[in-house]
Amino acid sequence: MHFLLFPKAINVQEHPSKKYPDYLMGHRASHPHLLWDNAAQYIIMDVPGPKKDFFDDIITALYSEPFPTDLKFILAWLVLAVAGIYLPVINSSPLRVVFALPVVLFIPGYCLIAALFPHKTDLDGIERTALSFGLSIAVVPLIGLGLNYTPWGIRLDPIVISLVIFTVSMLIIALFRRAAIPADERFFVPLGSLMNSARGEFFPKESSRLDKVLSMVLLVAIVAAIGTTIYVIAVPKEGEKFTEFYILGEKKMAADYPDRLFTGTAYPMYIGIGNHEYRNVTYTIETYMAQVNFNETTNSSTITRMDPLDHFTVTMPHNSTDVIPYTLTAPSTGYNRVEFLLFNETIPGIAVTGMDRINESYRDLHLWVTVRPRPNL
């Protein structure tokens, strides 16, 4: 009597020649892997192969099955978007917006739909496209809301990393779910048939020469409209040009300003500048201690004394904000106002002083103060 080992099950109904002797029937009930071959007088032991775990299924889906064209395109676009954000040359060009915009408005929703509906009969093309836009608009703000409650906050790097993790996770789930169903039932983007259909719509065989010319003009107009839309989004029109200039208290709030000063005592505060001039600007900040007298009769102010405190410059690119620490120290008594003057590239000479210098500045701020002698301890 011989024993043979087979790696997968043999169904007895598929092999009617295999009839069990009477003395094996009892063993068959307790050993379902035993099969009897009448002709060869063999007892065939069916030994099932090792069971695959979840990770084996994922590896099979990733490497054994062909990578879907639509998901391959999504992955390539995601790489281009990340490169457009961080590569030095591309991140300052309109290509950054062109690559990044679909990652915010379309790709996350498309990958989520691909993971939820792997069958080609689940949704048609219009439904998938509409839901991709809708779910992207819903998912991206939710990711931002979650980041708002993390130590990283809503900044560029955490947003990019979160979107990449979400998109790649949904892409892997979509691959796994498509691999689990028969190939003829999986969703795929029929690029060939779409191209043939578009060619047939624009250039039918029975069309005349004039119709072909008109179709070509229509096609060029559509491409030009799409290109114009992308250009308007990527290169927006310049808005109003201005510069923010403000001062903050010790806690970086618009409150608790040091308005009661002792001579020789340092008071920390902050000076804020926001450049919205659509160009790089080198700003000059000047601070002065001044004595200002107010004439109630003429309802006007007169500067009787204005002495310089500090002078420094800062260069800032467009659309950037800088909050600069500053220490205010009154050198002596006899002052009641601190002047903060901001100049752009145009700076008057040292002969221009007092109210004339304030008027020549690009932006100016002042803080009313009371200065007392430092007490002797």
In this structure, what CATH number is given to the domain that contains residue 337? 2.60.40.10
Identify the domain containing residue 260 by its residue range.
242-372
265 and 311: one domain? yes
Per the structure, the count of domains in the chain is 3
What is the CA angle 310-312-315, rounded to 5? 160
Identify the sign of the CA torsion 80, 81, 87, 88.
positive
20 and 69: one domain? no
89 and 165: one domain? yes
358 and 249: one domain? yes
37 and 106: one domain? no
From residue 11, give the alpha-carbon distance in Å to each of 24, 34, 38, 230, 374.
17, 11, 15, 62, 102
24 and 78: one domain? no
Backbone dihedral region of 299: left (phi > 0), alpha (psi from -120 to 50 degrees) or beta?
A: left
Task: Give domain status of residue 352, yes or no.
Answer: yes
Q: Cα–chain-centroid distance for residue 149? A: 17
**Which pLDDT belongs to residue 204?**
74
Could you tell me if 371 and 330 are in contact, meaning their C-beta atoms sit under 8 angstroms apart?
yes
41 and 61: one domain? no
180 and 267: one domain? no
Task: Give domain status of residue 209, yes or no.
Answer: no
From residue 354, give the alpha-carbon distance in Å to each of 41, 245, 367.
117, 20, 16
**Which pLDDT belongs to residue 271?**
96
**Which pLDDT belongs to residue 335?**
94
Residue 94 sits at φ, ψ, to 5 deg, of: -60, -20
**Which pLDDT belongs to residue 310?**
94
* Number of Cβ atoms within 10 Å of the Cβ of 286: 19
**Which pLDDT belongs to residue 295?**
83
72 and 158: one domain? yes
The segments of the chain whose pLDDT lies below 70 read 1-65, 192-194, 197-198, 200-203, 233-236, 238, 377
6 and 36: one domain? yes
79 and 177: one domain? yes
Please choose, from the candidates 152, 204, 173, 147, the residue with its C-alpha nearest in 3D space to the C-alpha of residue 71: 173
- CA 159 – CA 163 distance, rounded (Å): 6
Among 189, 204, 226, give the residue marking a domain's end: 189
